[in-house]
Amino acid sequence: MLDKFHYDQFRQQGYVVVPNFVTDSLVEQARERFDPLFRGEFETGIQPDEWNWQHGKSDPSLTRQICNGWKADRTIARLVLSQEVGKDCALLMNWDGSRINQDNVIWKPAGAKPLGFHQDNTYQQWIDPPSMVTCWLALDDTHPDGGTIEYVTGSHNWPVSSELHGFHAPEDYHEGLHSAAESLGVAEYEIVQLKVNAGDAVFHHGGTWHGSGSNRTENPRRSVVAHCMNSESRHHPTNLSPIYSRYKKQNSLELDESFFPVLWHKNGHRTAFLDRD
C-alpha cells in the first residue's frame, strides 16, 4: 500500500520504488512464461499487438519486447491488469480511475543492447489527454551492470518532447535525453541507475525521461510493465496510432473496455471480465 512517502517521492522525482510489490510465487510463474511467449506459444491463442523479437528470426543481441502480452498470456494479465496496479497508478496521478493503455514484456538477456531514453507521453498522441503513468515490475534482481532502468530525476516537469529517437539498440542510448536537455537549456541533470530486487515495482510519470543500458552480466534482466492512462481518456479525434487506433469504434471516441479495460475506479467500477476465473 502506498503512503505519503511514496506520493511525495513520485511528485518530487517523477518515479518511486515500491519494494515487495509482487509475490515470489507470481514472479517465478511470470519468468516461466517468457520463453514460450517469445517462441510464439500464446496461451490464449491471441497474438500480442507488438511482437518485436521472435525466436529464430531476430538478432539475439537485441533486448526482447512484446506489447500487450496480457492478451496472449494469463500470467502476464494477472500482473498488469491487477486492481492494485490500477489503484496505485490512479492515486499517484490524482485520477478518479485508471485503465490499461498497453503492457510491455521485456527480456534483456546477457549481453543484450540498450533501450533508448524517451518520455512515454511522446508516444501517446493518439489518446486525449496524451498522458499515462507506468508500473515497472522487476522479475530479476536488477542493478547498473545488468542494464537496469535509469531515470532523470525531476524530468517529469520538463515539456514533453515531440522528437522520436532510436529506441531499440541505439548507438548512444542517451541521445534523445541529451538533445531534449540542450533544446531546453538544461545544463545539469541527474541520471539515477536503480538497484531493485525481483518483485519490486517502480512507478514513473509519463513525462519522466528513462531508458536502460546494455546487460553486461551473465544473468537475464526480465520485467513486465503496465502503462496506465486516466479512466476518462478517449481516442484523439484526429491523431491516429497505426496499431492502437485499430480498436477505435466507428463514430465514437470512446475507448472500448474490451481492449482498454478499467483496472480501478474510486466509484468501485472495474471491467467485469478482469475477475473471471
SS3 content of the chain, % helix, strand, coil (to 5): 25, 25, 50
Span 150-164, average pLDDT:
95
Q: Do the bridges between strand 234-235 and strand 210-212 make them parallel or antiparallel, or are there none, so unpaired?
A: unpaired
Q: What are the residues facing 133 on neighbouring strands?
A: 205, 228
pTM for the whole structure: 0.96
Per residue in 217-276, pLDDT tens?
999 999 999 999 999 999 999 999 999 999 999 999 999 999 999 999 999 999 999 998
Retrieve residue 128's grid coordinates. Answer: 486525449
Strand 64-67 and strand 97-108: the pairing is antiparallel
User: How buried is residue 57: exposed, middle or buried, by Cβ count under 10 Å (0-12/13-18/19+)?
Assistant: exposed
Q: Read off the pLDDT of each residue in 111-136 and give the average, rounded to a whole number.
A: 97
Q: How much is the pLDDT for 163?
A: 83
Three-class SS string for 201-270? Answer: EEEEECCCCEEECCCCCCCCEEEEEEEEEECCCEECCCCCCCCHHHHCCCCCCCCCCCCCCEEEECCCCC
Q: Which sign does the torsion angle of CA 69, 71, 76, 80 carry?
A: positive
> Mean pLDDT across the stretch 204-220?
97
Biggest alpha carbon–alpha carbon distance for the chain: 53
- Residue carrying the nine cell digits 538478432: 59
Residue type at 177 in one-letter notation: L
- pLDDT tens digit sequence for 38-49: 999 999 999 999
Which has more pLDDT, 166 or 173?
A: 173
User: Sheet harboring 191-193: ordered strands across?
Assistant: 115-118, 210-212, 149-152, 191-193
Give all domains of the chain, ordered by start, each with its CATH number: 4-275 (2.60.120.620)
The pLDDT assigned to 144 comes to 93
Question: What's the pLDDT score for residue 119?
Answer: 97
The pLDDT value given to residue 164: 81
Q: pLDDT of 80-112, one tens digit each? A: 999 999 999 999 999 999 999 999 999 999 999
C-alpha torsion angle, residues 182, 16, 143, 112 (rounded to 10) = -60
Instruction: Give the torsion sign (CA, 124, 128, 130, 133).
Output: negative
- The neighbouring-strand residues paired with 49 are none
Share of the chain above pLDDT 90, in %: 95
Mean pLDDT rounded to a whole number for the chain: 96
Q: Which residues pair with 260 in a beta bridge?
A: none
Evaluate the CA torsion angle 271, 131, 79, 240 in order and state its sign. positive
Mean predicted confidence (pLDDT) in 61-86: 97
CA-based end-to-end distance of the chain:
25
H-type alpha helices, the chain: 4-13, 24-38, 74-80, 83-93, 175-184
Average pLDDT over residues 115-134: 97
Residues 6+ apart with CB under 8 A from 234: 127, 128, 253, 254, 255
Cα 4 to its chain centre, rounded Å, is 23
Q: What pLDDT, on the 0 to 100 scale, is given for residue 277? A: 60
